[in-house]
Amino acid sequence: MEEKKEKIRWGILATGSIAASFAEGVINSSFGKLVAVGSRSQDSADKFADKFGGIPNRHASYQQLLEDDQVDAIYIATPHPMHKEWAIKAANTGKHILCEKPIGLNEAEAKEIVQSAEDNGVFLMEGYMYRCSAQTKKIVQIIESGAIGQVRSIEASFSFDIGDNLEGRHLNKSLAGGGILDVGGYPMTLAGLIAGIGSGSSFLEPLEIKAVGHIGQTGVDEYTSAVAKFDRGITARLSCGVALDEPINASITGTKGRLFIPQPWKPSPQGGTTELHYYPSGAGTPSNKLESGSLEVIKVTTEEYLYGAEADAVAVGIREKCAPYPAMSLEDTLALMRSLDTWRREIGLSYEGE
């Protein structure tokens, strides 16, 4: 008989929209349960707790949450500049950590957080939830199978127009706003993941990155594009932004065909079916293939909630002492932060104190 495993008891630190998405995921996960929330006020903690089925432990400060001995793991959902402080404090109290992306503002901060987790013997993972999804696992399987041949080119974008709220976190430089840190990590992590298949790496670091971008009136990158060169002749074209509506998708082209991903970053938030489109080489462009019938649609169906799958990946990581592939490993996180640092340098973007 298989040994019954105790569920991971989660506490959520902060109560914004991303915290709400994760709470819903934990409630619908296989290996986690939501037991606590911490906010900057009792009223905010109570409202959040009531919204998600009556979370029993409600704390009026983040520190009180960390001191809750009924909590095994902390999900850090604060704005970017606060990630380092609270991830290190969580590690120092012996809590396992899922830190929302980006784990820090730069590689130096990421190294401090990783070192703190290692010193305290706790599990740490950066929260790129799509890397834990059934769809991403299927994409990896397709590439590993050789169905599209040897990978040659990757395209990926994540860009939207947040509007003209200059004080909101997306456009506020004091909150480390801008496209690269907010959503640029998504296309970069996909490119590194795909380029690394067959090399023994779950994030192959680019050999070279060149980029251009537009820095707006608040001093953050409103939209930007990068090209990256990887080993084995692989190139990538990556775009992100918080003030420009662009198509949000990804594609991987190899010597035998192309895999198009219509919903790369938020597939099946509450379970369901997504599609991957395979176009064999020599059959024309994606637009006319739909008419010619040469398109093969690969359906991916799952009952997992997207953030529930992420919470379950952490549970496996705690048990196995490493993140389950293709979730983000600590090596992936450090390589990613170096890549994002380079991207920002290329367009002349830095934050106070760097």
Position 121 confidence tier, pLDDT thresholds 50, 70, 90: very high
- Confidence at residue 283, expressed as pLDDT on a 0 to 100 scale: 56
CATH of domain 8-128: 3.40.50.720
- Indicate the class that CATH gives domain 131-309+335-347: alpha beta
CA–CA distance, 352 with 349 (Å, rounded to integer): 10
pTM higher than the cut 0.85: yes
Neighbours of 323 (CB within 10 A): 25
CA–CA distance, 68 with 63 (Å, rounded to integer): 9
Domain with CATH 3.40.50.720 in the chain: 8-128
Domain with CATH 3.30.360.10 in the chain: 131-309+335-347
Is the confidence at residue 291, as pLDDT, over 50?
no
Mean pLDDT check: name the lowest of 281-285, 296-300, 310-314, 322-326.
281-285
- Element containing residue 127 per DSSP (H, E): strand 124-127
